[in-house]
Amino acid sequence: MNLREYIEKEGGTAVFYRVVNNPKKSFLKFQEEDEQVRKELVQAVYEKKVPEGVTVLVSDISPYIGETEAVADKIASIVVLSNDPKRAERVMQEKKKQAQEFRSKKLHFLKEDLNDWLEEVKRSGLVKGIILRGDLVDLKRYPSKYSDIDLILLLGFPGNNKGKWNQIKEVIKEIPTGCSVIEYEFNEKGFRGMSKTLKDIRGQWVEIQLISFPDLVKYFDGLKKYIGEYVKANFSHARVLWQEENTASRFLKKVLGRIND
CA gap 110, 170 in Å, rounded: 20
CA gap 40, 120 in Å, rounded: 47
Mean pLDDT of 219-233: 82
Question: How many folded domains does the chain comprise?
Answer: 2
Q: 230 lies in a domain?
A: yes
**Helix extents (H) in 22-113:** 26-31, 35-46, 85-108
Count of helix runs (H) and strand runs (E) in the chain = 10, 10
Together in a domain, 132 and 16? no
Domain that includes residue 51, residue range = 3-101
**Is pLDDT at 206 greater than 90 in this prediction?**
yes
What band does 261 get if pLDDT is binned at 50, 70 and 90? very low
**Is pLDDT at 70 greater than 60 in this prediction?**
no
Decide which of 230 and 139 is more confident: 139
Phi-psi region of 147 (alpha: psi -120 to 50; beta: other; left: phi over 0): beta
Q: Which of 76, 101, 126 is the last residue of a domain?
A: 101
The strand pairing partners of 72, in sequence order, are: 65
What is the rounded end-to-end Cα distance, in angstroms, of the chain?
55
Together in a domain, 175 and 84? no
**Is pLDDT at 215 greater than 60 in this prediction?**
yes
CA quadruple 53, 77, 144, 25: dihedral sign: positive
Q: 39 lies in a domain?
A: yes
- Angle at CA of residue 229, ends 223 and 232, nearest 5°: 70
Together in a domain, 44 and 118? no
